Structures are given as structure tokens and as C-alpha cells.
Structure 1
Amino acid sequence: MPVIYPDSDAFIRETDKAPALGILVCEKNALPPFAESRFIRKLGEHGSRQGLSVFAFAPWTWNPADGTVQGWRFEPSLLKWQREAHPLPALVYDRSWPANESEKRKYRQALRKLNSARRLAHLNGPLPGKAAVQLALAGDERLSPYLPPTRLYEGTDSFLRWLTRNRGAAFLKPAAGSQGRRVVAVRRKADGSVSLRGRLADNRAFSCDCADFHEAAARIGRWIGGREYVMQPLLDLRNAKDEPFDIRALVQKNGKGRWALTGTAIRRGQAETVTANLHGGGTAEPAQAALASMFGGEKAVMLLEEIRECCLHVVCTLEQCYGRFAELGLDFGVDRSGRLWFLEANSKPGRAAMECFGEAVARTAAGRPVSYARHILFRSPGRVIHEFDHL
């Protein structure tokens, strides 16, 4: 769905309210009252410094009678979150994390109801499934060499054919998944048995062996059920300690409406696991030093420049296909030969990987969505600028 931005002056006249940024959340009966409360508190602090009202709200709190929602702000003087009615904001930033399918349905239904009455302007829009994104990116000849072959899982027969084409190894992940959950790596062992290693829905690691491919295919088919999955080759993305690693590049628009590379971090997982995601117990460190220790200083510099160029091409292509974005988390892998691969794009990136750079970068990562929101709300819309600012 394309991201829709308001014409600033017209939108403010229409609402007759001071512009505000609303943070979409799934409210819960607990304190803090929603996920990512620390990050959302930082967004509010940045808003206060920049003269922009920022508050969090769940879409099901909307009252159509007076057009208000029940919004949360952190009150520093009281050191607690306070809830009060706010006019529906001019712009929203989705940081909702539904805990289960029931909450996901509740959230989507409430958002549809709100949108049917008055279409919300989104700071950052969603991406479609991973297969669709890979197909869109493959249309750019500059990106196609970096994309691993990707196919939709269409049952056990398609999986067995994929294994045959890829030397008895494969990596399967949910088409709409995040945080490394419900992935599985498949590899044929020397004795003909098949190893399955992956992560469950709660991000716990698992491993098991099957007698052969047919047993593995049947087990995976039951596990996937009706979910949409994609299949890729099992790339060798491990360091000398056999730890899986990937590279997270956080790209964000700044207060000038220009793309900027906020930071590039290596995420390392635990040996014998299949993902490097921080939610699964991984750790993060600045990419340049980590890459230099693995591939040498000269190769590290080359890889980081290659990543920077790829980031620019990816954001260009995704905005042309799906509308404007405020930020994206772009994940890369480097195999043992030093070849760079683009793994996936995340339209709701976390901030944990950026904390390895220290307070200044972490503060920038949290502040840029607010700066860009202010740029949208207080300035007339201009052309899309597909360039990186110098950092």
C-alpha cells in the first residue's frame, strides 16, 4: 500500500489542530502500557525538543463522536505514563506489535474502521511479502546480482524439487515474518540423514534429524501448515567461530527529507543456531571493525561501500514500487568467499543494533523519524530525493 502524505497546509486547515505525530501501538493492561515503551518515550522527548506533539495510541480507542483517541505520554515530572484524550493526529507512525493472532485481528479491524472515516497519513508504510519484495528488487539490474534465488513454498513437492536444485540444502522463512522467528535451515548430512535447525514462534532454537528428505519434507509441511513461506539456498553466512552473522543497515530520512545511512552493524548469533537476530540472543557491533577482522581492512572498506550503494538502489526501487518510506532496516550477508548478498528489507526496524555505536548514533536513530515527521508536517511537499546526505 503506498504511503500517503498530507499536503501540510491543507491538512492542518482541514483538521484545525496543531499538527501531531501519533505512534500506533497495541495497548495492554500493564505498565508500561505497550511494547517499545523506552523507544516511544525517546520519540516523545525528541518531539518536545522539536516543537512537535508526540503521543502513542491504540486505534481501537478512537471515539468517532468527537474524533479523539486515548493517547499516552510519558510525564517526566511524575516519572510515569499518563493517558488522556487527544485529537486524531495529522500523521501516524506504526510501532504496533500484536502479541497474537487475536490481537492482530483486533488491531487491523480498528485501523480499517478508523481509515474508513478519515484516511490516516502514514509516516512509514508496510512492505508486501518477502517474495514480492525480492521480485521487485530483481527488476533493477544493479541489484539482481545480490539477490539469492527465492521461490514460494507450494507444498512438499516444491520443497523436494528445491532441495534437488540446491544440492540438498535450503533455507525457509515466513513470507511476512520478522525477528528471525519460525525459520528453518535444511541440510543433507554425509550419512544421508537430514538436519533441520531453526527457531520456533517464540524464537527458541530447535534442531532435529530426519532419516531422509521425504521425512524432512513431511515434517516441514506439517510445521508450515497454511502459512506463506519462501525458499532460498542455504548460504554459508558464518564466521570462523561458526557463528551466523548478518549486517543491518538502518537507512532513514532526516529532517531535510533526504535519505541518510544512520549506521551499519554486524549482528552475530550463537554457534549452532541459524540466525543472528538480536531477539534470538545475538549481539551487535560496528560493522567496519568486525568485517576487518574477518576479511581484512581493505575488503571491509570495499564491502561497506558496496552496502552503501546497494542501500541507495534498494530504497529507490522500493519507493517506486510501494510509495514513500521514512526508514528501512536492510539486511545483508557476506559468505565465506567475501561475496555480498542482500537478504531482506524491514519496514518496521528496531533500534537495538544501533546501540553498539554509542549514545550519539542511538539518539540519531530514535530522533530521525520525528525530524522527518516535522519536515512533512511543517513544509510543503517536494520531490523525492533518492540521495544520501553526508554523515
Structure 2
Amino acid sequence: MSPKKIIGILAWREGKRFGEPEYLRRLVHAGHLLGAEIFVFSHQDVFASEKKIRGFVPKESGGWESSWFAWPQIVIDRYRRRVPEYMKLRHSGLFDFANSPFSKKWRVTQLLAKDARVKRWIPETYVYAPATLKTMLVKHPILYVKPGNGTGGKSILKVAERGSKYQLSGRDKNYARKTASLSDPEEVGKWVKRWVNEQRIRDGNFLLQQGLDLELVPDRVTDVRLLIQKDKKGEWRVTGCAVRVGEKGSSTSNLHGGGKALPFHLLVSRRFGEERAQKILQECHHMAHQVAMVLEEHFGRMMEFGLDIGVDVQGKTWLIEVNPKPGREVFQQMGALDLYAEAICRPVQYACYLIEEKTKRLTKEVELSSRRRR
């Protein structure tokens, strides 16, 4: 009987409070079903000199209980705050991670925009500067102003030209909706500058991105959330996708901002017809595989990506954003519980695959070494 696989999940913790606790619970449960020893830990739980680690597992009654665990053979990184203690641990070489560190949105966008395999899907994007905003306002009827290190649809501002007016709409750091209607580009410039200063996250920059007409439903922003993951054989597979439909008048489709998730074909087929919808879906899948390949070449081993894909009113596909630590609630919300379960299981299956591959490699090395000694 092969020894138990030991998997750690690195996550933010304060006391016994974890970031995204429900997802972490489900990951641990998925690991137990696969016969692995699996636990959650944070940067303050690592005692490297003693080769000891304090891990947490969910209690049936709710909450978490801690105990000492053996050193993990592989670690899944779900830490979503770039605090110094996390960064230090991430680059310490103490663990073998299933997923490599990723970069800020601007660097990723630049990288993808220069690569021949994927650049056709990238909207025009620049770092925010008042002069660049002026140029982009002339060039594009819709613009997005978004934080380069944001997540969850917060602090994204949409600027749309409507006749002689500019309609500005966005959600601030607290998801409160903010709107303005301005006729003078100079006033737009001042409003955006104030937004950038107020919404800035730590020392992060803001991006200006070519806006797309994504209103497949009138007065509602829609986009496709696609999840691509490594499977139990270590190969990239699209787990599934859904269309997110934003609240009426909202600048984003994000679920936290009141958006709703629908099956892809329900909305896209209704808009473009069955045959065209199938071609759009195939292109989304092709894009996901190409993007995953390009990013893995640059950043090292990765295990999953959430892609936000825009399908404009002409049916053209665009890559809006890539998230290396994606959520998967979109499947849960649209009632696709089989996809939701698979989306949770795959990271653990991939971690098990990496442990098995490592064991095979070590066994071969031992065999080669003993042959040389004979």
C-alpha cells in the first residue's frame, strides 16, 4: 500500500479566521475523499528549523481545529494578499508549490499583448496617465479604468460616450455604486483622477482599457467566466464556463456586484444562433489553452486560471482578465453542481499527480544510483 500523500494549502489566516473558508473546507474534504492527508496553514504556522508545521482542518460542528502535521509534499497556494510575510515564505524554497507566483495585471497584459499566439484577443490597454486618458477618450467610445492589483470587480470605472455626454459608472472599494454624467472631457479627466486617487489599493497602479460593447442583454454588461485547470494527468482541461450578466446599469458583470450566472448556450445561442454560439465557445476554449500555455512558459508551473472573456455585440471574443487563483461560485450559482464539484476536486487531483510524479522520479534516481555503485 502506497504511503499517504501529504498536501498543504497555503492561505491567509488571522486567529482561526481564514480567507474564503467555505472553499478551503471543500478542498480539504476533496483531499480526504482522494485518500490524502490535507490541511490548511498560513505563513505563521511554519517552523522550518524543526521541520514542523501547524495545520488546520475543518470541524464538523463548524470552525477549525489545529494540530501538528508532517511536512507537505506539495503545497497549493491560495494566499490572496501580497503581504511581506507571505512573499518571503513564497520565495523561501521551503516548499514545492503546485502553482508559481504570478505577476500584476499590467505585466501580464503587456506579456500577452506581445505574444503572437494570443495578442489578437487583447484589448488596447495602458497604465493610467491623464494624457493617455485624453487620447483614449477620443479613440474609443467606451473605456474602463481599473486597478492593476484589484479583484472581485471593485474600483472599476466605466466611461461611455453617449451623444454629447460621458456617462461614468463604477463600484468603489465597498461595492457602492457611483455615477456621473459629464459633457466636458476636462471634467471627465478630473473625475477619473479623483477616482484613481481614492480607489488606489496600496501602491498599485491603474489601467486604462479599451471598452467593449458587451451588452448582449440591453443595458447590462455580460461576459464569460471560463475555468481552465490541470487534471489528474497534469493536462490542461476546460472545466466549464458560464455567462455573467451584470445588474442593470452596472459597469461590471461581477457576481459580488449583483451579477447573475447563466449557462453559456442559454444566452449566447439566443443572441447569435446555435451554430455561431458553438464557434464562439470553441474560440473561448482555444483562447484558454493558448493563454495557459503562454503564461506557464513565462511564470513556471501553474494549475488553474479563471479567464474573463468578453463576447461583443458582433460576436468577437476578447480576453478581459486572467486570474491565477480563481473562484468557482459561478457554477454553483447557475446550478451546475457537478461542474462546481469538479472545479473543487481538480486542484487536489493535480496535487496528487505531482506527488506521484515526484515519487517516480526519486525512485528512478535511487535505482540509477544503486546501479552505478555495483
TM bracket (short chain): 0.7 to 0.9
1:178: how far off? Answer: 1.4
What TM-score do the two structures reach when normalised by structure 2? 0.87
1:357: how far off? Answer: 4.8
**Which residue of the partner structure matches residue 105 of structure 2?**
130
Q: Report Cα offsets for 1:303-336 as digits up to 9, x if no partner.
A: 1111111111111111111112100001111111
One-letter identity of the residue aligned with 1:47: G
1:229: how far off? Answer: 1.4
CA contact (8 A) 2:149 2:204 kept: no
CA contact (8 A) 1:174 1:183 kept: yes
1:187: how far off? Answer: 2.3
Aligned residue runs from structure 1 range 220-259, under 5 A: 220-225=192-197, 227-259=204-236
One-letter identity of the residue aligned with 1:50: L
**Which residue of the partner structure matches residue 190 of structure 2?**
218
Aligned residue runs from structure 1 range 120-269, under 5 A: 120-153=95-128, 155-167=129-141, 169-191=142-164, 193-225=165-197, 227-269=204-246
**Which residue of the partner structure matches residue 10 of structure 2?**
24
Given candidates 52, 69, 76, the residue that maps to 1:86 is 69
- Is 1:363 the equivalent of 2:336? no
Which ranges of structure 2 fall in alignment gaps of 5 or more residues? 198-202, 361-374
1:343: how far off? Answer: 1.2
Q: Report Cα offsets for 1:225-279 as digits up to 9, x if no partner.
A: 3631111122110123321110011000011111111001111111100111112
Equivalent position SS for 2:54: strand
User: Once structures 1 and 2 are overlaid, which stretch shifts more, 330-339 or 79-88?
Assistant: 79-88
Equivalent position SS for 1:379: helix
**How far apart, in 2, do the equivalents of 1:39 and 1:114 lie?**
21
1:110: how far off? Answer: 4.5
Q: Root-mean-square deviation (CA), in Å?
A: 2.3
**How far apart, in 2, do the equivalents of 1:352 and 1:129 lie?**
23
**How far apart, in 2, do the equivalents of 1:114 and 1:326 lie?**
16
In structure 2, the CA distance between the partners of 1:70 and 1:120, relative to structure 1 (3 Å rule), is same
Given candidates 268, 275, 294, the residue that maps to 1:317 is 294
CA contact (8 A) 1:197 1:206 kept: yes
Number of paired residues? 353
**Which residue of the partner structure matches residue 253 of structure 2?**
276
1:63: how far off? Answer: 2.7
Identity level (%): 29
1:35: how far off? Answer: 2.4
1:146: how far off? Answer: 1.7
Given candidates 277, 280, 294, the residue that maps to 1:303 is 280
Aligned structure 1 segments of 4 or more residues deviating by more than 3 angstroms: 113-116
In structure 2, the CA distance between the partners of 1:80 and 1:233, relative to structure 1 (3 Å rule), is closer
CA contact (8 A) 2:8 2:38 kept: yes
1:134: how far off? Answer: 2.3
**Which residue of the partner structure matches residue 6 of structure 1?**
none
- Is 1:292 the equivalent of 2:269? yes
**Which residue of the partner structure matches residue 35 of structure 2?**
51
**How far apart, in 2, do the equivalents of 1:290 and 1:127 lie?**
33
One-letter identity of the residue aligned with 2:132: S
In structure 2, the CA distance between the partners of 1:123 and 1:204, relative to structure 1 (3 Å rule), is farther
**Which residue of the partner structure matches residue 67 of structure 1?**
51
CA contact (8 A) 1:26 1:97 kept: yes
CA contact (8 A) 1:195 1:207 kept: yes
**Which residue of the partner structure matches residue 34 of structure 1?**
18
1:48: how far off? Answer: 1.1
